[in-house]
Amino acid sequence: MLLLDTHVWLWYVQSAPEILASPALALIEKASIDGQLALSTISVWEVAMLHAKRRIRIKSEFDMWFAAALQRSAVQLFPLSADDAIESTRLPGGFHNDPADRMIVAAARNRNIMLVTRDEKILEYGRAGFVKVLTA
């Protein structure tokens, strides 16, 4: 199972795979085919906020775009759980304060799955052994 960080999912669904590292893209595509690709619900919020603030452009209504993007990427949505919320407040090693990143990392830790990201703060956290990460 692979959990995609928000930006990785956006690159993947917006037909910009050339941005992703080849090994990561190959694993993402395999996980998608195998039904082993996941996205945290907090990522939906992040993308919706980017759209609302006009930091990303979407050609249709957000709801319609999101439904199509979800289907196209074949991701499973991980709902925000109480366990993830609690874990996000207890991350070891002094993780930074971005609430969305904290929830995504907590979801990966709670499920013991690989998180695919290019976020340097999360990659550092992974290199320190606190979460499994794959560089996008």
SS (H, E, C) 28-53: HHHHHHCCCEEEEHHHHHHHHHHHHC
Q: What is the largest CA-CA distance in the chain?
A: 41
pTM, to two decimals: 0.94
Q: How far apart are the first and last CA of the chain?
A: 15
- pLDDT tens profile 44-97: 999 999 999 999 988 889 999 999 999 989 999 999 999 999 999 999 998 999
| 78 sits in which H/E element | strand 76-78
pLDDT classification of 104: cutoffs 50, 70, 90: very high
Q: Rounded to whole angstroms, how far apart are CA atoms 104 and 18?
A: 24
Residue 15 · residue 25 · CB < 8 Å: no
- pLDDT tens profile 6-55: 999 999 998 777 899 889 999 999 999 999 999 999 999 999 999 999 99
Q: Rounded to whole angstroms, how far apart are CA atoms 55 and 2?
A: 26
Q: Report the alpha-carbon angle 102-66-19, nearest 5.
A: 65
pLDDT classification of 2: cutoffs 50, 70, 90: very high
Per CATH, domain 2-135 is 3.40.50.1010: yes
Domain extents in the chain: 2-135
Per-residue pLDDT, 68: 93
